[in-house]
Amino acid sequence: MNIIDTRSNIKPQDCKEDFIKNIPLFETRGIEYSLSSNDFTDVIFQSISSVEFFEEMEQLINKNIYSMGPSTKNFLSQKGFDSICPDIPGSKELVKLLPKNDNNKFLIVKGVDGLDDVFNDLNENQNYVEEILCYERVKFDNYDNLKEPFFDADAVIFSSTYGVKIFFEEIYSSDIEAKLFGISNRIISYISDLGYEAKFIDYFSDDVAESIKNSI
């Protein structure tokens, strides 16, 4: 079975199996940002890249830390920080875990064009919340050299709607017969809105290949 993982921020040794090939569809770049103060109690990381490009890790000591999904939680753990993570990745489940009172001050760390759902929820509930944008996602100049493996793929895994967008703009053709999988319901819905079928995959299950095989 040939599986393509389109995540942009994993290293070859992090691929779960030899037959899972990592083919990123965009790159992430750190950008300058300013942290107005250290007067916050809770820090929310919305992605692996938000952890990677956040430069004030020492400011996290004695803070309540939240991660959007298991991959972000694992990356924080590698840096020595535990975090609270929803069982189902995504904003909808994460906001259920956040305290809603006047004593908490929230900092959201994300990228340019990152999801606003968590910020909006906290803001609507009159919590103190600010956010910093510490990275951007950038398309490659050309995708011709990336297309060939997709024609032989049995499955393609997407970890962001941005990756899906690029796939259908730059890679997809009717000759590609791979089944599409998303790691969140938001991604599944996005693919569905484009008129294609996709299934949810728990990328952090013990046997991703078996899960995909059973879904095809």
Q: Which domain holds residue 83?
A: 29-137
Residues 125 and 148 in one domain: no
* pLDDT confidence of residue 126: 84
> Per-residue pLDDT tens for 12-57?
445 455 678 999 999 999 999 998 888 999 999 999 999 999 999 9
pLDDT at 13: 44
Tell whether 184 and 133 lie within a shared domain: no
Looking at residue 205, what is its pLDDT?
Answer: 64
Residue 12: per-residue pLDDT: 45
Residues of the chain with pLDDT under 70: 9-18, 204-207, 209
Residues 101, 149, single domain; the answer is no
In this structure, the answer to whether residues 105 and 65 fall within a common structural domain is: yes
Q: What's the CATH code of the domain at 209? A: 3.40.50.10090
Domain count of the fold of the chain? 2
d(CA 62, CA 150): 45
Confidence (pTM): 0.86
pLDDT at position 206 is: 61
pLDDT of amino acid 171: 97
Return the pLDDT at 20.
Answer: 86
